């Protein structure tokens, strides 16, 4: 497997302790299929997604990566060693565009921000002017209650004082006289002593009450001016609390909260600062992207020449391959679209690789590209189908040698009908069909050394295999 495939297996929870990946698809007699990855049930989409990381198919009707412009760009960058530069450009683009979006949002919301700031400034100003202290509401309501009931309080305290010590028959005098009388009776009968002991504390407490009432009356006075001040303060606090939809006791906390919000708006970057930072990030991106563009142009020229040369060897005389770099708007991948274009024969126009009509031509072009870029390819297995379509003789032998050379860097599977191509392989499998019980059965059998000679000879000579064709087969396999 590859690092990308291992990462995919880990993310999708298909990893096994032994490493590697086993992909399996089972089709029952009813045509229903089940997919498995490392023995775990998987969806067809997951099987295809992992397969794309492990196998690249080159052939007619195959959705190979070489036909996708994104893959073409990645291949060009990999071949030229520009992966780090491309990642730097992508990172710079991401940072720049994130700030640009922030600036756009700021512009869109600028009016709302201004209105919010004005609202907060007014609210903070109101609370700052009122300057309610923590606990003040409780203190001032108590003071108001005392001042507003001062006359009643003075009258009640005076009545209590008179009843205890200043009336014609005050309670304290009566209790003192009673204590004296009981004291004389105790001399006659000790049984009354508890009564005397109970009355004496009552007399003392009445004396303390007289002292407290005198002290209270000395402090309490009618103060209409102070009462008006307190009532005005109460009304101001209560009115502001209603305006802010909070309890009067919570106004100090509201002031702290709103002041914090106002400070956050004041600390936020203004539009000019955002624009300046955006321009700085854009300049950094453009510098990195232009550097990447120059390197890509140089790499595209080299790859174009190399693949064009390879096409001449593959029976595509006069054909041309060109890596087209089309300028585009700034993007995460840079300032240009990368597209592989080809003219399969002399006199034909360059067209996108994906629009090449012949499956065989497409396979041979893909072979040339794969051989040249094999060291940069991240796919460990390549499959070629119809690579020998429309060729033979010496060209077929060249194709076989190219496939063999490609097999030094990765695993190559090739479906072929040409002995010149088949003879270059290290391992052979025979694909055949047989009728069994009225059904057609397909088989894939590995071939040993002896059977390999027989199969190559059959491909050379037809149904009847002669000593000459066997000799020729041995010669091809010995090359």
Q: Evaluate whether 411 touches 381 at the Cβ level (below 8 Å).
A: yes
Angle (CA) 256-261-263 rounded to 5° is 95
Pairing of strands 411-415, 381-385: parallel
Q: Beta-strand (E) ranges in 401-438? A: 411-415, 429-436
Nearest Cα neighbor of 274 from 99, 110, 112 is 99
Other Cβ atoms within 10 Å of 401 Cβ, number: 16
Is the entire prediction scored with pTM above 0.75? no
- What pLDDT is stored for residue 328 in this prediction? 95
Question: What is the signed CA dihedral for 334, 337, 338, 341, rounded to 10 degrees?
Answer: -170
Q: Tell me how far apart the alpha carbons of residues 284 and 295 are, in angstroms, rounded to a whole number.
A: 17
Other Cβ atoms within 10 Å of 415 Cβ, number: 16
- What pLDDT is stored for residue 60 in this prediction? 54
Nearest Cα neighbor of 364 from 303, 324, 325, 421 is 421
- What pLDDT is stored for residue 387 in this prediction? 67
- What pLDDT is stored for residue 63 in this prediction? 44
pLDDT in tens, 292-309: 999 999 999 999 999 999
Beta-bridged to residue 384, according to DSSP, are 58, 414
**Residue 82: burial class (beta carbons within 10 Å; 0-12, 13-18, 19+):** buried
Confidence label for 34 from pLDDT (cuts 50, 70 and 90): very high
Farthest CA pair distance, the chain: 161
Indicate the average pLDDT of the chain: 84
DSSP for residue 348 = P
Domain ranges of the chain: 1-56, 111-267, 379-479
Other Cβ atoms within 10 Å of 273 Cβ, number: 12
Confidence label for 40 from pLDDT (cuts 50, 70 and 90): very high
Other Cβ atoms within 10 Å of 158 Cβ, number: 13
Q: Evaluate whether 285 touches 92 at the Cβ level (below 8 Å).
A: yes
What average pLDDT does range 383-399 have in this prediction?
Answer: 75
Other Cβ atoms within 10 Å of 370 Cβ, number: 26
Q: Which of 278-287, 301-310, 391-400 has the lowest mean pLDDT?
A: 391-400
Three-state SS string over 255-314 comes to HHHHHHHHHHHHHCCCHHHHHHHHHHHHHHHHHHHHHHHHHHHHHHHHHHHHHHHHHHHC
CATH of domain 379-479: 3.40.50.300
**Residue 134: burial class (beta carbons within 10 Å; 0-12, 13-18, 19+):** exposed
DSSP for residue 166 = I
**Residue 93: burial class (beta carbons within 10 Å; 0-12, 13-18, 19+):** buried
- Token pair in block for residue 279: 């321009």
- What pLDDT is stored for residue 206 in this prediction? 84
Q: What are phi and psi of 58, to 5 degrees?
A: -115, 110
């Amino acid at each position: 497997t590859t690092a990308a495939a291992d990462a995919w297996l880990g993310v999708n929870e298909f990893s096994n302790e032994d490493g590697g990946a086993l992909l399996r698809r089972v089709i029952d007699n009813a045509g229903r299929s089940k997919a498995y990855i490392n023995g775990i049930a998987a969806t067809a989409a997951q099987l295809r997604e992992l397969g794309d990381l492990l196998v690249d198919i080159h052939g007619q009707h195959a959705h190979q990566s070489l036909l996708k412009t994104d893959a073409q760009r990645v291949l060009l960058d990999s071949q030229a060693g520009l992966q780090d530069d491309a990642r730097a450009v992508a990172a710079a683009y991401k940072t720049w565009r994130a700030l640009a979006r922030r600036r756009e949002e700021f512009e869109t919301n600028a009016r709302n921000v201004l209105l919010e700031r004005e609202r907060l400034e007014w609210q903070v100003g109101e609370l700052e002017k009122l300057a309610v202290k923590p606990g003040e509401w409780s203190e001032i309501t108590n003071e108001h209650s005392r001042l507003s009931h001062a006359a009643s309080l003075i009258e009640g305290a005076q009545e209590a004082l008179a009843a205890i010590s200043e009336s014609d028959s005050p309670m304290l005098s009566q209790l003192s006289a009673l204590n004296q009388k009981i004291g004389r009776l105790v001399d006659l009968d000790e049984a009354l002593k508890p009564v005397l002991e109970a009355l004496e504390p009552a007399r003392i407490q009445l004396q303390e009450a007289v002292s407290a009432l005198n002290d209270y009356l000395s402090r309490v006075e009618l103060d209409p001016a102070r009462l008006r001040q307190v009532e005005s303060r109460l009304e101001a606090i209560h009115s502001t609390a209603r305006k802010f939809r909070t309890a009067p006791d919570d106004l100090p906390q509201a002031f702290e909260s709103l002041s914090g919000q106002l400070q956050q708006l004041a600390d936020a970057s203004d539009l000019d600062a955002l624009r300046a930072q955006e321009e700085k990030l854009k300049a950094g991106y453009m510098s990195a992207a232009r550097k990447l563009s120059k390197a890509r142009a140089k790499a595209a020229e080299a790859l174009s020449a190399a693949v064009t040369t390879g096409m001449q060897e593959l029976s595509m005389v006069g054909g041309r391959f060109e890596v087209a770099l089309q300028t585009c708007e700034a993007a995460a991948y840079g300032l240009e679209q990368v597209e592989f274009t080809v003219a399969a024969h002399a006199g034909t126009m360059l067209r996108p690789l994906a629009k090449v009509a012949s499956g065989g031509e497409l396979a041979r072009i893909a072979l040339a590209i794969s051989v040249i870029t094999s060291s940069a390819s991240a796919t460990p297995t390549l499959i070629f189908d119809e690579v020998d379509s429309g060729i033979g003789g010496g060209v077929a032998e060249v194709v076989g040698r190219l496939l063999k050379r490609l097999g030094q860097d990765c695993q190559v599977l090739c479906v072929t009908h040409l002995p010149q191509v088949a003879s270059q392989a290290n391992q052979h499998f025979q694909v055949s069909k047989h009728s069994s019980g009225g059904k057609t059965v397909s088989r894939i059998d590995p071939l040993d050394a002896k059977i390999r000679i027989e199969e190559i000879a059959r491909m050379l000579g037809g149904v009847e295999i002669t000593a000459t064709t066997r000799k020729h087969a041995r010669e091809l396999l010995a090359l």
